[in-house]
Amino acid sequence: MDKEQIREFGYELGADAMGFAAIEDYRSEKSPDPRSILPNVKSIIVLGYREINGAVESENARISMASRMGGMNLSRKNNYLMARHIEKHFKAKAAPVPLSYPLDMGPEVMGLVGDVSIRHAAVAAGLGVFGRHNLVIHPQFGTRIIFTTILTELPLRSDPSVPGNLCNQCGLCVEACQAKALDEEGKTDVMKCLRASQPYGIGGAIRYLRQFIGIPHEEQKALLSDPILLSLYQAQFIGFQYTCFKCMAVCPACTEA
């Protein structure tokens, strides 16, 4: 009953997929214990937002990213509204967990481990299964879906898992990854992916600064009009940005028009 009311509210807000996982069914070895976020957490609510096909497939990654930013804005607001809804109507505490940032940038994880592993939460909430690209494939939207979660003290039963395997092992994701980050099955080489897909993130800034320091003054002046600096500048007000969406775009599994 509670689940159906919450599901309806989520769809009204604009989510494309909704699922629930009892906290015992969420297992992600490398992620923090969810009780460190919400001590009496009983369940996880997962909301999914489909990517825009024309944007994710575009060779112009600025368009793919602009569309992602729309999804991120919508999901951020909805996560907050959903948490308010749970607290107001069900008198149970709720903690909204972001789509990505902010992340723990401490030395042990350096922004590579989220407070909740949203992929593992989505799988536990019956919203999909892992594919060869280590992303979650949804039965209707394929890989073209992003998720957010809300931890809550409200006890909710897990939705049924997606049966079977949605990945047909075609290998298109592995071939399309120019960074070769997916060569080893069951593991994404995060540093290779990061370098290729976020060239204007902190790694890019450090590479630029390293190049800048220690070169003669005249060369430094030339580096000030380097397009990389302009892109790093742009990243400061856009926020983090991906320049690669290939593993999402090429996956043929369950892709709806």
- Residues at the interface with ligand B12 (CB under 6 A): 28-31, 99-100, 103, 112-114, 116-119, 130, 133-136, 143, 145-148, 186, 188, 190, 193-194, 197, 242, 244-245, 247-248
**The one segment of 21-29, 65-73, 109-117, 240-248 that binds ligand SF4 by CB under 6 A:** 240-248
Identify which of residues 206 and 222 has a Cβ nearer to ligand B12 in the complex. 206
Least Å from the CB of residue 131 to ligand SF4: 3
**The one segment of 3-11, 24-32, 179-187, 218-226 that binds ligand SF4 by CB under 6 A:** 179-187
Neighbours of 31 (CB within 10 A): 17
Please name the helix (run of DSSP H) or strand (run of DSSP E) that holds residue 133, with its range, or none.
none
Nearest Cα residue to 10 out of 25, 23, 24, 20:
20
Residues 6 or more apart whose CB falls under 8 angstroms from that of 256 comprise: 50, 140, 141, 142
Instruction: Select the binding partner of residue 112 from ligand SF4, ligand B12, none (C-beta < 5 to 8 A, by kind).
Output: ligand B12
Regarding 65 and contact with ligand SF4 (CB under 6 A), the answer is no
Nearest Cα residue to 254 out of 152, 138, 169:
138
Distance CA 218, CA 41 (A): 58
Regarding 182 and contact with ligand SF4 (CB under 6 A), the answer is yes
Please name the helix (run of DSSP H) or strand (run of DSSP E) that holds residue 202, with its range, or none.
helix 202-212
Identify which of residues 32 and 111 has a Cβ nearer to ligand SF4 in the complex. 111
**The one segment of 87-95, 115-123, 223-231, 248-256 that binds ligand SF4 by CB under 6 A:** 248-256
Least Å from the CB of residue 217 to ligand SF4: 36
Please name the helix (run of DSSP H) or strand (run of DSSP E) that holds residue 65, with its range, or none.
helix 61-90
Nearest Cα residue to 147 out of 48, 50, 79:
48
Q: Which of residues 197-216 bind ligand SF4 (CB under 6 A)?
A: 197
- Give first-to-last CA distance, the chain, whole Å: 32
Chain positions contacting ligand SF4, by CB under 6 A? 131-133, 167-173, 176-177, 179, 181-182, 188, 193, 196-197, 244, 246-247, 250-253
